[in-house]
């Protein structure tokens, strides 16, 4: 069906605009009762009250349900070999995330499994995750490499991500500097040399990534190494992002502002000055509360960020180590309950601001005429309901660029 109308929408809720919202405007969303949306050729042609809509021959009846933009997951590591369920016992016995990594496990065990996996295995597994994510209301996903840590495997992972982007709304990010591989453990700077001199030029010339990211963290990559990698990426025309101040305050948020990064992600330990610099630079805070949940950590200071005019987005951080869930509905529960965002602020965080954090706010992240028809119909009578229930899948019908037929497992 290339042209249709979704009618009898009980409540339509959407942020508006084509750039990230911060401060009070982050919580100012458009609410329309008894609404309709028109769709033609994958684009939105009408958003408004149903009684004002033109008559259509193809209609889909939302029967009073809640409709929002499709959710945007702006930070995942979803192409990986294996899983890491064996770490659960270590975690329960008291080992921390960084201790597991330092003992040669963690990211490094996923690197081993990803090097051993074939292109086809990685593609099939990634596509299955993306189908399940669609079924849970997520219509756009950023995916990072970073489980190769050698040129050949980073390229294999990036090819999988770029091929997934042919069938799903996917944005590829190069995260070659995700950890120091075992064979470089005595000379981490020479691994940074490899990323800068050998990996980045190939990734940029083959146009395999839109962004470059780095894990700036104690005993992973320091601020100097992070500045070097991200500056080299910028010089090659890539946008930049950073895993900043997750476990130890390193100044990563300040570096993001200094370099004009599109986003700084995690930010549990970021200081006030660095947050002010982010607000000044327009760098988006991508907060990952499902990771705080799984690692039993505190939560980022989202209310301070909103008060300081830092645009706040949320994402799943889906990966086999620190966030083994891709469920953005759960992320929204945590965004309200733990980050203390209002439902309206949280909706903006998971739609328009998340789209801006991956450079797509002009086409995605809100329900407005001319934007892509990425639409989530929820089995919810109002907005609070979506954030209040948890653990069950509340998605009723999900459209990605107007199409509700891509997924292999049908909804409801």
> Which residue in 42, 50, 45 sits closest to 11, CA to CA?
50
User: Binding residue for ligand IZC (CB under 6 A) from 145, 319, 366, 401?
Assistant: 319
User: Binding residue for ligand IZC (CB under 6 A) from 139, 322, 394, 401?
Assistant: 322
User: Hey, is 153 helix, strand or coil?
Assistant: helix
Q: Is 311 in the site for ligand IZC (CB under 6 A)?
A: no
| Closer CB to ligand IZC, 46 or 174, in the complex | 174
Which positions from 67 through 106 interact with ligand IZC, judged by CB under 6 A?
Answer: 77, 106
Partners of residue 13 on adjacent β-strands: 31
Q: Is 114 in the site for ligand IZC (CB under 6 A)?
A: no
> Which residue in 66, 48, 34 sits closest to 394, CA to CA?
66
Q: Is 353 in the site for ligand IZC (CB under 6 A)?
A: no
- HEC secondary structure over 222-246: CHHHHHHHHHHHHHCCCEEEEEECC
State the nearest-atom distance from the C-beta of 370 to ligand IZC, in Å: 36
**Element of type H or E holding 387:** helix 383-388
Q: Is 159 in the site for ligand IZC (CB under 6 A)?
A: no
Going from the C-alpha of 279 to that of each of 88, 267, 292, the distances in angstroms are 37, 13, 23
Task: Pick the piece of the chain touching Zn ion (CB under 5 A) from 224-232, 233-241, 315-323, 402-410.
Answer: 315-323
Place of tokens 């770029």: 162
Six-digit token string for 234: 């910028």
Q: Interhelix angle for 107-116 vs 151-164, to 10°?
A: 80
Q: What angle do CA 287, 231, 171 make, to 5 degrees?
A: 50
Residue 378 contact among Zn ion, ligand IZC, none, beta carbon within 5 to 8 Å by kind:
none
Which positions from 189 through 248 interact with ligand IZC, judged by CB under 6 A?
Answer: 215, 243
| Closer CB to ligand IZC, 156 or 243, in the complex | 243
Q: Is 107 in the site for ligand IZC (CB under 6 A)?
A: yes
Task: Pick the piece of the chain touching Zn ion (CB under 5 A) from 128-136, 227-235, 314-322, 377-385.
Answer: 314-322
Residue 14 contact among ligand IZC, Zn ion, none, beta carbon within 5 to 8 Å by kind:
none
State the nearest-atom distance from the C-beta of 110 to ligand IZC, in Å: 5
Binding-site size for ligand IZC (CB under 6 A) equals 10
| Closer CB to ligand IZC, 22 or 145, in the complex | 145
Task: Pick the piece of the chain touching ligand IZC (CB under 6 A) from 40-48, 49-57, 164-172, 315-323.
Answer: 315-323
Q: Give the span between the Cα atoms of 331 and 305, in whole angstroms.
A: 18
Neighbour-count burial for 261-278, b at 16+ CB within 10 Å, e otherwise: bbbbbbbbbbeeebbbbb
Residue 387 contact among ligand IZC, Zn ion, none, beta carbon within 5 to 8 Å by kind:
none
| Closer CB to ligand IZC, 292 or 319, in the complex | 319
CB 325 within 8 A of CB 300: no
**Residues of the shown chain interacting with ligand IZC in the complex, contacts defined by CB under 6 A:** 77, 106-107, 110, 215, 243, 319-322
């Amino acid at each position: 069906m290339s042209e249709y109308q979704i009618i009898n929408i009980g409540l339509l809720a959407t942020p508006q605009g084509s750039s990230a919202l911060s401060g009070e405007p982050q919580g100012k969303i458009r609410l329309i009762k008894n609404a309709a949306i028109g769709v033609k050729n994958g684009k939105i042609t009408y958003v408004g009250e149903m009684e004002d809509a033109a008559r259509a021959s193809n209609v889909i009846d939302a029967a009073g349900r809640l409709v929002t933009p499709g959710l945007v997951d702006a930070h995942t590591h979803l192409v990986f070999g294996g899983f890491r369920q064996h770490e659960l016992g270590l975690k329960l016995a008291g080992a921390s995330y960084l201790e597991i990594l330092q003992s040669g496990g963690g990211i490094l065990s996923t690197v081993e499994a990803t090097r051993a996996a074939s292109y086809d295995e990685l593609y099939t597994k990634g596509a299955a995750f993306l189908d399940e994510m669609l079924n849970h209301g997520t219509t756009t996903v950023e995916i990072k490499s970073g489980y190769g840590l050698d040129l050949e495997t980073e390229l294999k992972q990036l090819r999988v991500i770029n091929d997934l982007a042919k069938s799903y709304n996917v944005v590829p990010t190069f995260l070659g500097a995700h950890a120091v591989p075992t064979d470089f453990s005595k000379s981490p700077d020479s691994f940074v040399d490899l990323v800068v001199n050998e990996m980045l030029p190939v990734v940029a010339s083959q146009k395999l990534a839109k962004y470059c990211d780095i894990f700036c963290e104690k005993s992973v990559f320091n601020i100097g190494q992070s500045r070097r990698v991200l500056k080299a990426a910028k010089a090659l025309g890539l946008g930049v992002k950073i895993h900043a101040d997750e476990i130890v305050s390193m100044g990563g948020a300040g570096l993001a502002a200094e370099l004009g990064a599109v986003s700084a992600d995690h930010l549990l330990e970021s200081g006030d000055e660095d947050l002010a610099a982010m607000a000044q630079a327009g760098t988006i805070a991508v907060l990952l509360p499902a990771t705080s949940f799984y690692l039993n950590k505190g939560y980022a200071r989202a209310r301070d960020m909103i008060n300081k005019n830092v645009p706040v987005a949320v994402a799943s951080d889906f990966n086999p180590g620190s966030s083994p869930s891709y469920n953005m509905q759960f992320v929204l529960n945590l965004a309200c309950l733990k980050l203390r965002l209002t439902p309206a602020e949280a909706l903006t965080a998971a739609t328009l601001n998340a789209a801006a954090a991956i450079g797509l706010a002009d086409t995605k992240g809100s329900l407005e005429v001319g934007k892509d028809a990425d639409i989530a119909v929820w089995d919810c009578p109002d907005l609070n309901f979506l954030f209040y229930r948890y653990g069950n899948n509340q998605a009723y019908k999900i459209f990605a660029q107007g199409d509700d037929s891509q997924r292999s497992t049908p909804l409801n």
